[in-house]
Structure 1
Amino acid sequence: MKVLLLSYRIPFPPNSGYPIVVYNTIKGLLSLGAEVTLFSLNPRKHWVEPDDVYDPVFSEINFQTYTIDTDVNIWSAFLNIFTNESYNVSRFFEEEAVKMLENILREQEFDVIQFEGLFVVPYLDVVKQNSKARLIYRAHNIESAIWERLAASEKFAPRRWYLEFLASRLKSYETDQINRFDRIFAISEPDRLSIVKFGCKNPIDVFPVAVELDRYRSDLGKTSFPTLFHLGAMDWRPNKEGLEWFLDEVWPDIEALNKDLRFYIAGKKMQKQFFDYDSENLIVEGEIFDAVEFMNSKSIMIVPLLSGSGMRVKIIEGMAMRRCIIATSFAAEGIDCRHGHNILIANTPDDFYRSILQCVTNPRIWREIGENARRTVERDHEMHSSGRRMFGVYEELVNV
Structure 2
Amino acid sequence: MHLLFATSIVPDGALASGYEIANAAIIAALRRAGARVTVIGFTWPGKPASDPQNTIVLGAVDVRTESASSLQKLGWVAKAMLSGLTFASVKLRVVTDNEVHAAIERAGPFDGYVLNSVQFAGAFESLFGDRPSIFVAHNVEHSSAQQNAAAAAGLFQRLLFRREAKLLEAVEERLCRRARFVFTLAEEDRSALGVASNDRSAVLPLVTCAEPPAQKKTRRIDCDAALIGTWTWQPNRIGLDWFLDKVVPHLRPDFRIRIAGRVPSGVTSAHPGVKFVGRVPEAQAFVRSAAVIPLISTSGSGVQLKTIETFELGLPSVATSHSLRGICYRPVNCTVTDDPVAFADALQAAAADIRDVDGSAFHHRQVKALDAAIRLGLKKLGPVGQEVLA
Change (3 A) 1:105 1:394: farther
2:370 equivalent to 1:378: no
The match for 1:302 is 294
Q: Tell me the CA shift for residue 286 of structure 1.
A: 1.8
1:105 & 1:305 partners in 2: Cα distance?
Answer: 41
**Greater CA drift, 206-215 or 110-119:** 206-215
Q: How does 1:191-210 map to 2 (within 5 A)?
A: 191-196=189-194, 203-210=200-207
The match for 2:249 is 252
2:265 & 2:84 partners in 1: Cα distance?
Answer: 37
2:325 equivalent to 1:327: no
Q: Tell me the CA shift for residue 146 of structure 1.
A: 0.8
Q: Tell me the CA shift for residue 69 of structure 1.
A: 5.7
Aligned length: 375
The match for 2:177 is 179
Q: Does the 8 A contact of 1:39 with 1:101 survive in 2?
A: no
Change (3 A) 1:193 1:153: same
**Greater CA drift, 115-124 or 89-98:** 89-98
The match for 2:351 is 360
2:332 & 2:98 partners in 1: Cα distance?
Answer: 49
2:311 equivalent to 1:314: no
Gaps (5+ residues) in structure 2?
66-71, 385-390
The match for 1:266 is 260
Change (3 A) 1:151 1:347: farther
SS of structure 1 residue aligned to 2:129: helix
The match for 2:40 is 39
How high is the sequence identity, in percent, across the aligned residues? 20
Deviation above 6 Å: which 4+ runs of structure 1? 199-202
The match for 1:228 is 225
Q: How does 1:1-400 map to 2 (within 5 A)?
A: 1-12=1-12, 13-42=14-43, 47-51=44-48, 58=51, 61-68=54-61, 70=63, 71=65, 73-74=73-74, 77=77, 80=80, 84-96=84-96, 98-122=98-122, 123-129=124-130, 132=131, 134-154=132-152, 156=154, 159-196=157-194, 203-212=200-209, 214-224=211-221, 227-256=224-253, 259=254, 261-267=255-261, 269-271=262-264, 273=266, 277-337=269-329, 341=332, 343-363=334-354, 366-367=355-356, 370-371=357-358, 375-379=361-365, 381-382=366-367, 386-387=370-371, 389-391=373-375, 393-399=377-383
Q: Tell me the CA shift for residue 359 of structure 1.
A: 1.4
Listed one character per residue, the Cα deviations across residues 58-109 of structure 1 (whole Å, up to 9, x for unaligned) are 2563342322464563365267557754333333334436514433325501
2:151 & 2:110 partners in 1: Cα distance?
Answer: 44
Q: Does the 8 A contact of 2:225 with 2:258 survive in 1?
A: yes
1:360 & 1:107 partners in 2: Cα distance?
Answer: 52
Q: Does the 8 A contact of 1:213 with 1:320 survive in 2?
A: no
Listed one character per residue, the Cα deviations across residues 138-190 of structure 1 (whole Å, up to 9, x for unaligned) are 00010011112222334655543443332222212222332122211111110
Q: Does the 8 A contact of 2:294 with 2:317 survive in 1?
A: yes
1:158 & 1:50 partners in 2: Cα distance?
Answer: 34
Q: Tell me the CA shift for residue 229 of structure 1.
A: 0.8
TM-score normalised according to structure 1 size: 0.81
SS of structure 2 residue aligned to 1:234: coil
TM-score normalised according to structure 2 size: 0.83
1:75 & 1:110 partners in 2: Cα distance?
Answer: 36
Q: Does the 8 A contact of 1:102 with 1:126 survive in 2?
A: no
Q: Tell me the CA shift for residue 247 of structure 1.
A: 1.9
2:280 & 2:238 partners in 1: Cα distance?
Answer: 21
RMSD: 3.1
SS of structure 2 residue aligned to 1:41: strand
Q: Which structure shows the higher helix fraction?
A: 1
Change (3 A) 1:109 1:398: farther
Gaps (5+ residues) in structure 1?
none
SS of structure 2 residue aligned to 1:315: helix
SS of structure 1 residue aligned to 2:215: coil
Q: Tell me the CA shift for residue 392 of structure 1.
A: 5.3
